[in-house]
Amino acid sequence: MTNHSDSTSALERFDRPPNGWFVLDIMPETMAGRRWVALMLDIDPDEIRKPHRECWVTIPGEHRSRDDAWEALEDMMATRH
């Protein structure tokens, strides 16, 4: 897993989803909206009041819609094992 330094965020950034982490949300990386990132947690989002870690995960490729980006992220998570 590659860690990228991001000067605009204190969160770590990865190219692949960490094993066992949960997706909280995905969002466009820029205003153009074709490159997407996922905000991920190391705990189930239902337990977010507990201490937890967060990270950004880059969703590879360009996607025209949120649904397309979710599908790409799900594919990444299914093939990471």
| pLDDT, tens only, 8-62 | 458 999 999 999 999 999 999 988 779 999 999 999 999 999 999 999 999 999 9
- Count CA atoms closer than 13 A to 2's CA, side-chain side: 4
Beta-bridge partners for 54: 41
- The whole-model pTM stands at 0.80
Token pair 């066992």 is at which residue? 20
pLDDT tens digits along 55-68: 999 999 999 999 99
> Which residues contact residue 74 at a Cβ distance below 8 angstroms, ignoring those fewer than 6 apart?
none
